[in-house]
Amino acid sequence: MRSPSPAALALAALGLSGCGGGSPASPDRPAQTYPVTAVVFYDENDNGTLDAGEEVRLPEVDVEVAGRVGRSEKLTGRAVVNGVPAGSYPAAVRTASLPPFFATAASPAVTVPQAAGSEAAIPVTLPIGNNVPDTYLAFGDSITAGEGAFSTHGYLDVVEALLQQNLGGRPRVIGDGVSGTTSAVGSDRIESSLRSVHPAYTLILYGTNDWNKSACKTAQPPCFTIDSLRFMIQAARAARSLPVISTIIPAHPVLTPPERNEWVAAMNDLIKALARQEGAALADSYGAFIKAGDLTRLFSDDKHPNDAGYQLIGGAFFLAIARSPAATCSCSRPGRPGVEDRMKATDRFVIEGVTCELDGRRLKVANLSISGLFAITDLALMPGQHVEMVLRLPDREPFEVLGVVSWTNDPASPRAPDLPQGLGIRLTRIALPDKVTLLDLLKRTSPGAVRHRSSRPSEG
């Protein structure tokens, strides 16, 4: 038997026939893909349909279609999921990205490619029974009454504005703050307040006045604060109102003895544990004050906030209502620091895709923090010079900020050799909704992207 010729072996190795006019198969072309648009909405009547009058949309929620994910934007709740192949798929939300208490309903099927202009409406629900949707009861003492505020009704106006600007709808925050009362008095009167308002949410901020009572010179029993707050949470749940409890804000550090703020810090550790035990959402107003830095700028007297302080409380309540626990959690587990533990005002975050517009030029941002940024540029600006910028964050709407140049990195004699030529800019004015957006982005950033500042500057 004759052996195959070398030519035949070569043809066989290439997968080609030794005779005839055949040619090798061409490589498969990549399958065509399409964008899918979806809207995440609050289904008030739980009928699975987006009805007229259902105006609340959920931002910062992850929508998944065929294994691809997009994130919903503020106010519209619209998410665009790119790279979806043709076919029929469920459009679903990732439960972990939902704010507290929201639950997924049926996932609508979407045919890809979608018809022009169509959107998949994805419903989510809240377990509020017959309570009034989009209604919030703010329950507390003189801080809830807004004492010390000048241009706002305390934190109530702030919460209402943030909800409307981010979720849409017609939020209504009803205040029930009684000056001078302790949490024990609050536990006595909360049930009647719930019966009167029928709120979807109950926002609880109580405990500031408890320190004045002899039983509460320590955070431990016989102090009544935790038992009183526990009763309020349970009363709200019994009325099918969703409880959001705030930590106690610090007092003015100069006008009050240091023992008071030591008590506040110890009590807040117990309040955080209480929120976990009772399934309440936590608004960390205390953490917002501490993170702001100079506490003396946040008060109108020894314990009442000024407008800047009330902005922080309102922002803390908004985050607790509208952001997923994974994005806002300040808790820690043994051996694993939580978000608040690892984020400091001096931390710098290296995030791809962040730019700023300055003097008509779009500049790459090398690093970012809660108080400033470093922009890569050869613009010749001087320290102390005030600037107006448009800050662009990934997957967020751009927004305007004001800042001041705090330092420059000259390549001839660099102050930060690991950074290119550019400007360290300290943010001096940023609207509260935009600051919430910035803080949310930083909280979602991987710990590996954090650079802890040394003695030299790395941004503003």
At 442, the pLDDT band (50, 70, 90 cuts) reads confident
State the average pLDDT over residues 259-276.
94
Lowest mean pLDDT among 21-25, 54-58, 406-410: 21-25
The helix (run of H) or strand (run of E) holding residue 182 is none
Model confidence at 413: pLDDT above 90 = no
Encode 67-85: b = buried (16+ Cβ within 10 Å), e = exposed. Answer: ebebbbbbeebbbebeebe
What percent of the chain is modeled with pLDDT above 90?
Answer: 69
Alpha carbons 305 and 303: distance in angstroms, whole number: 7
The two tokens of residue 207 are 């405990």
Model confidence at 9: pLDDT above 80 = no
User: What's residue 45's pLDDT?
Assistant: 94
Contact between 245 and 202 (Cβ < 8 Å): no
| Choice between 292 and 343, residue whose per-residue pLDDT is larger | 292
What percent of the chain is modeled with pLDDT above 70?
Answer: 86
| Choice between 226 and 359, residue whose per-residue pLDDT is larger | 226
Alpha carbons 182 and 267: distance in angstroms, whole number: 14
Alpha carbons 378 and 457: distance in angstroms, whole number: 18
State the average pLDDT over residues 319-323.
95
State the average pLDDT over residues 83-97.
95
Alpha carbons 143 and 283: distance in angstroms, whole number: 15
Alpha carbons 415 and 456: distance in angstroms, whole number: 7
Q: Which of 246, 248, 313 is nearest to 282 (CA)?
A: 246
Question: What Cα–Cα distance (Å) separates residue 416 from each residue in 375, 406, 409, 451?
Answer: 13, 13, 7, 13
- Per residue in 41-76, pLDDT (tens digit) is 999 999 999 999 999 999 999 999 999 999 999 999
At 227, the pLDDT band (50, 70, 90 cuts) reads very high
Model confidence at 248: pLDDT above 50 = yes
- Per residue in 191-214, pLDDT (tens digit) is 999 999 999 999 999 999 999 999
Alpha carbons 100 and 322: distance in angstroms, whole number: 8
Model confidence at 158: pLDDT above 70 = yes
The sign of the torsion formed by the CA atoms of 392, 393, 398, 403 equals negative
State the average pLDDT over residues 431-450.
74
State the average pLDDT over residues 175-196.
97
The two tokens of residue 374 are 């470093």
Alpha carbons 432 and 415: distance in angstroms, whole number: 32
Model confidence at 333: pLDDT above 70 = no
Q: Which of 159, 160, 239, 156 is nearest to 194 (CA)?
A: 239
User: What's residue 345's pLDDT?
Assistant: 57
| Amino acid present at 333 | R
State the average pLDDT over residues 253-266.
93
Alpha carbons 127 and 176: distance in angstroms, whole number: 23
Question: What Cα–Cα distance (Å) separates residue 458 from each residue in 38, 289, 442?
Answer: 40, 24, 17
Model confidence at 155: pLDDT above 70 = yes
Lowest mean pLDDT among 70-74, 232-236, 417-421: 417-421
User: What's residue 449's pLDDT?
Assistant: 54
Model confidence at 433: pLDDT above 80 = no
Pairing of strands 172-177, 132-140: parallel
| Choice between 25 and 297, residue whose per-residue pLDDT is larger | 297
User: What's residue 15's pLDDT?
Assistant: 41
Q: Which of 367, 345, 347 is nearest to 294 (CA)?
A: 345
Model confidence at 20: pLDDT above 70 = no
The helix (run of H) or strand (run of E) holding residue 12 is helix 6-13
At 31, the pLDDT band (50, 70, 90 cuts) reads confident
Q: Is 335 left (phi over 0), alpha (psi -120 to 50) or beta?
A: left
Alpha carbons 159 and 312: distance in angstroms, whole number: 10
Contact between 404 and 372 (Cβ < 8 Å): no
Question: What Cα–Cα distance (Å) separates residue 147 from each residue in 212, 304, 306?
Answer: 18, 6, 8
Sketch out the chain's domains with CATH numbers: 33-125 (2.60.40.10), 132-341 (3.40.50.1110), 344-452 (2.40.10.220)
Q: In which residue are the tokens 């719930």 written?
A: 194
At 219, the pLDDT band (50, 70, 90 cuts) reads confident
- Across the chain, mean pLDDT equals 86
